[in-house]
Structure 1
Amino acid sequence: MDYKAIAQQTAQEVLGYSQDTSGWKVVKISKKVTVSTKTSRKFQGNLYRVEGIIPEPTAKLSDFLHHPGNRISWDKSLKVHNMIHRIDSDTFLCHTITQSFAMGSISPRDFVDLVNIKHYEGNICIISAQSVDFPGYPPSSNYIRGYNHPCGFVCSPLSENPEYSKLVTFVQTEMRGKLSQTIIEKTMPSNLVSFILNAKDGIKAQKTSRRGFHPNTLSSFQKKK
């Protein structure tokens, strides 16, 4: 499987989604986060667009979002998020297991996604992802294997304040199993709003922990010891 070629194609598709301004229907606005949707061209479901403003410069925001080691510390929708294979410095495979949601009516799913980080003019960063087959992580009987059609994050500087970023997230997830599309459509917008709010909280917590760390603390402790 040519993972690099798939990654390039996925990045282009996500870029195309970000430039597509027609046909979106707003389905939820909450706490300055807007969720819009249109029919997916990839499967019998929806493509979701989620927009919010994050108080972080674009470079730091993109690092925060794509770092697998940090993800479960702030993303409450996940219980596992591990990098399982690195292809190059900007392309890798991740294995993800979600939490159950919709009061347990949607059981955990697992995904194997090809993730790519690509930078564009104007300090725009796209972190794209698409589910792929990977021999090291075949489907198991423990979880229903879901499938993410081209999705990802588009991070760009806020024109009026470059210390803030506009984050646009695209999601088109095929849950599989025996779920009705109605349940998914009812629960997805609220979950997507929560994702943006959780990211904001995670960035705030990270800043707080950085402010609380002083390089001289360890040396002072060692002297006392």
Structure 2
Amino acid sequence: MNNFREKCEEVARKLQDYYKTEDGWTVAKKTKDGATISYRTSNEFDGYLYKGECMIDAPPATVFHYVDPLPDGPRGKWDSDMKKIEVIDWLEEPELRVNRACTASACMGLISPRDFVDIILTKETDSYISTNGVSVTYEKCPEEKKFVRGFNHPCGLICEKIPGEPNRTKLVSLIQPDLGGMLPRSLVDQAIPGSMAAFFHRTKECIKEKRSCK
């Protein structure tokens, strides 16, 4: 358990470093509702680190409630990319857990359903609320034939608090997934920015309408 916490604390440090480093990013997509998706070469694997950013007119705690991947939270209802979210184990409730997330197929079925088993640490500071996760091999959660097991390199969501504006939040998503299987790199690179843009759009819409449905 201590090793898992240490691993997640290291992830949290990496995510803050990723977020605060301004150089080296290439913009992949900008949306009408204010989201910007950028990427740069990952230091963790032979792929890209993706960063999504968007301002949301809601307090950080509200935004975090909507995006935190918990089975009994709104995320499992409104995020159509998530077919299933489950907590395999609470290691230190409510901060540290082992999560399993199952994703839908993508790109008209060219990317088959995936599942990811991650340790996730929730942190709150004076500046932000965040999830900080990385994939692990976990005995209680073996691979299933109907899913390709993916691997999330250090990833997370940051709900940044805006000084003097308690009802606004800068939502940041940092991901660098290895989807596994024999997927062409170009297909993955094409799919991720669009998926991230849709995530921000749905988050804003659900919070605006105060709903948790898809």
Secondary structure of the structure 2 residue equivalent to 1:4: helix
What do the CA deviations read for 1:86-145 (whole angstroms, capped 9, x no partner)?
0112111111110001111000100101111112233x1121111111111011222110
Q: Highest CA radius of gyration, 1 or 2?
A: 1
Does residue 132 (structure 1) correspond to residue 132 (structure 2)? The answer is no
Displaced runs of 4+ in structure 1, greater than 6 A?
A: none
Q: Indicate the residue corresponding to 2:38 in structure 1.
A: 36
Q: Indicate the residue corresponding to 2:151 in structure 1.
A: 147
TM-aligned CA deviation for residue 64 of structure 1? 2.6
Select the residue among 102, 118, 127 that pairs with 1:113. Answer: 118
Q: Indicate the residue corresponding to 2:192 in structure 1.
A: 188
Does residue 85 (structure 1) correspond to residue 89 (structure 2)? The answer is yes
Report if aligned partners of 2:135, 2:152 keep a CA contact under 8 Å in 1: yes
- Which consecutive unaligned segments of at least 5 residues does structure 2 have? none
Q: Indicate the residue corresponding to 2:20 in structure 1.
A: 19
**CA–CA distance in structure 1, aligned partners of residues 201 and 4 of structure 2:** 32
TM-aligned CA deviation for residue 164 of structure 1? 1.1
User: Partner letter of residue 17 of structure 1?
Assistant: Y
User: Partner letter of residue 119 of structure 1?
Assistant: E
User: Partner letter of residue 16 of structure 2?
Assistant: L
Report if aligned partners of 2:113, 2:146 keep a CA contact under 8 Å in 1: no
User: Partner letter of residue 182 of structure 2?
Assistant: K
User: Partner letter of residue 165 of structure 1?
Assistant: T
TM-aligned CA deviation for residue 208 of structure 1? 5.5
Secondary structure of the structure 2 residue equivalent to 1:114: strand
Secondary structure of the structure 2 residue equivalent to 1:178: coil
Q: TM-score, normalised by structure 2?
A: 0.91
Percent pairwise identity: 30
Q: Indicate the residue corresponding to 1:61 in structure 2.
A: 63
Secondary structure of the structure 2 residue equivalent to 1:28: strand
Secondary structure of the structure 2 residue equivalent to 1:201: helix
User: Partner letter of residue 11 of structure 1?
Assistant: A
What do the CA deviations read for 1:162-183 (whole angstroms, capped 9, x no partner)?
2010011101000010001100
**CA–CA distance in structure 1, aligned partners of residues 195 and 211 of structure 2:** 25
**CA–CA distance in structure 2, aligned partners of residues 190 and 175 of structure 1:** 16
Structure 1 residues 121 and 177, CA, compared in 2 at 3 Å: closer, same or farther? same
- Which consecutive unaligned segments of at least 5 residues does structure 1 have? 210-225
**CA–CA distance in structure 2, aligned partners of residues 126 and 197 of structure 1:** 19
**CA–CA distance in structure 1, aligned partners of residues 202 and 132 of structure 2:** 19
The root-mean-square deviation of aligned C-alpha atoms, in Å, is 1.6
User: Partner letter of residue 20 of structure 2?
Assistant: Q
Report if aligned partners of 1:15, 1:126 keep a CA contact under 8 Å in 2: no
Q: TM-score, normalised by structure 1?
A: 0.87
**CA–CA distance in structure 2, aligned partners of residues 202 and 64 of structure 1:** 8
**Matched residue count:** 207
TM-aligned CA deviation for residue 67 of structure 1? 5.2
**CA–CA distance in structure 2, aligned partners of residues 160 and 179 of structure 1:** 46
**CA–CA distance in structure 1, aligned partners of residues 96 and 16 of structure 2:** 17
Q: Indicate the residue corresponding to 1:217 in structure 2.
A: none
Q: Which has the higher helix share?
A: 1
Report if aligned partners of 2:69, 2:85 keep a CA contact under 8 Å in 1: no
Select the residue among 98, 102, 108 that pairs with 1:97. Answer: 102
